[in-house]
Amino acid sequence: MFMNGSSDTASLFTQQGKKGTNQDAMIVWENFGSRTDTVFCGVFDGHGPYGHMVARRVRDSLPLKLSAHWEVNIKSEEVLKEVSLNTAGSFCPEDTTLLPVAEEARASVDVEETAKHPEVFQTLKESFVKAFKVMDRELRMYANIDCFCSGTTAVTFVKQGHDLVIGNVGDSRAVLATRDEDNSLSAVQLTVDLKPNLPAEAERIRKCKGRVFALQDEPEVARVWLPHHDCPGLAMARAFGDFCLKEFGLISVPEISYRRITDKDEFIVLATDGIWDVLSNKEVIDIVDSCPTRSHAARTLVESAVRAWRSKYPTSKVDDCAVVCLFLDSNESTTAFTFKSKENVPLSEQEDANGKDDLSILSGINRSGTVRSGNEALEEENEEASEDNEEGLDDEDMGAEVGKDWSALEGVSRVNTLVTLPRFVPGKEDEKAAREAKARK
């Protein structure tokens, strides 16, 4: 599911803020990887002039890449086990020549962590790292999505049975609602908001010659800046896209974590920062828990956040909001999603919070069901051209140089994410000349 609505296990809702195009996206994919006990969930918060397109592209492509790498890793493990058995213990554990995962993925493996977590964690951890890397690399190559100063966050997880593996980039958040010893509902934050104010993130950025500082009128918001230009002022330390900063400390490597789901755990909330900027973790789970029907949980949470924005920040523009609520006591069900649309309107006629279905052009998806089953695969097409037309952007707009004044484009004035944008993009020849000049010095 990727539209506003609900199922027996999940509730989804997104709403445009007051800053232009809704740049948030979301997805719930049951039977993920053709496994009846597995679900993939994610929310994506785009930023920059083409952030809405980046968020959609990552939403559509990342799950497929993760599933593919997961299958490869599983098959590789089966081969290694067979080799280990056939060689009667002669296979050296340090020999990693048969592993298909990139060096940085292997380097991120913690031996103690592997020992205390189930095998699925290690397999998925490597798959997450590889899929995120490939996703970011492909964004750089897309001709019709300018990701130089546009990007997206991503908080995602795969739940297989009672195992939960989370991959997070950026400042969206995942929170678990669980019962404590006195049976009261408590909130457990599952991810860390990866912002430049974190010491480890700031140190990495500064080592790469990037700068981290806050503006005088918002001293609580640390931002990432280019070495010699006061731009773009990105308010996160990790993201897909944003290639103007990728050489200066911004990365797309996900932070991977694991949790074992217990009978006391009731639901998980994934949401973009439009929710967390105005509501605490406890407030969020209490709102979801108090909702009379699960089908309205995500929408009720978004509406509560909008009211909180107007109350706490009456002079600020309300941010876009996207929420996914996954209810854990229905996880053992193997039935397919039954989508419950708003007002009982057929999905073919249903509009999203922006006033139109921005996903109608996706190929490989049955819109009448809005479900991606484990046996379906989305075709990798360049559907952004159609999406551009929906958003009012023509081919000339998409091919425009970065030197154009972007302040007139929708989505740029996202104060919580970007401050300004670079005035130019050096060409390959200019970059080469700059590197040669620096080498001569």
The residue assigned the tokens 């999940």 is 10
Helix, strand, coil in percent for the chain, rounding step 5: 35, 20, 45
Do residues 413 and 19 make contact, with C-beta atoms less than 8 angstroms apart?
A: yes
Beta-bridged to residue 28, according to DSSP, are: 41
CATH superfamily for 5-440 is: PPM-type phosphatase domain (3.60.40.10)
Q: Does 232 sit behind a cis peptide bond, omega within 30 degrees of 0 on the bond before it?
A: yes
- What's the pLDDT at 25? 97
265 has a pLDDT exceeding 90: yes
d(CA 388, CA 384): 6
Q: Average pLDDT, stretch 80-101?
A: 42
Q: Beta strands 240-241 and 255-260: pairing type?
A: unpaired
Q: Average pLDDT, stretch 89-109?
A: 39
Nearest to 17 by CA among 402, 308, 262: 308
Q: Residue 441: which pLDDT band, with cuts at 50, 70 and 90? A: low
Do residues 80 and 94 make contact, with C-beta atoms less than 8 angstroms apart?
A: no
- What's the pLDDT at 380? 37
| Percent of the chain residues past pLDDT 70, beyond the cut | 66
Query: Among 148-162, 216-230, 393-407, 424-438, whose mean pLDDT is lowest?
Result: 393-407
Q: Residue 285: which pLDDT band, with cuts at 50, 70 and 90? A: very high
Nearest to 190 by CA among 285, 78, 102: 285
d(CA 417, CA 226): 15
Q: Average pLDDT, stretch 38-45?
A: 97
Average pLDDT, the chain: 76
Q: Average pLDDT, stretch 218-227?
A: 94
Q: Average pLDDT, stretch 407-420?
A: 46
CA 396 to chain centre: 29
Number of H helices, E strands in the chain: 11, 16
Do residues 27 and 325 make contact, with C-beta atoms less than 8 angstroms apart?
A: no
- What's the pLDDT at 417? 78
CA 193 to chain centre: 12
d(CA 283, CA 261): 22
Token reading at 210: 């990037």
* Residue with the larger pLDDT of the pair 380 and 270: 270
Q: Residue 33: which pLDDT band, with cuts at 50, 70 and 90? A: confident
* Residue with the larger pLDDT of the pair 285 and 217: 285
* Residue with the larger pLDDT of the pair 376 and 430: 430
pLDDT tens per residue across span 155-176: 999 999 999 999 999 999 999 9
| Percent of the chain residues past pLDDT 90, beyond the cut | 58
What is the arrangement of strands in the sheet containing 232-234, beginning at the earlier edge strand? 211-214, 222-225, 232-234
Count how many residues are written for the chain: 441
End-to-end Cα distance, the chain = 55
219 has a pLDDT exceeding 70: yes
Q: Residue 294: which pLDDT band, with cuts at 50, 70 and 90? A: very high
Q: What angle do CA 222, 140, 127 make, to 5 degrees?
A: 85
Between the alpha carbon of residue 439 and those of residues 228, 432, 436, the distances in Å are 18, 11, 5
62 has a pLDDT exceeding 80: yes
pLDDT tens per residue across span 303-353: 999 999 999 999 999 999 999 999 998 544 333 333 444 433 333 333 344
- What's the pLDDT at 119? 85
Amino acid symbol at 24: D
CA 284 to chain centre: 19
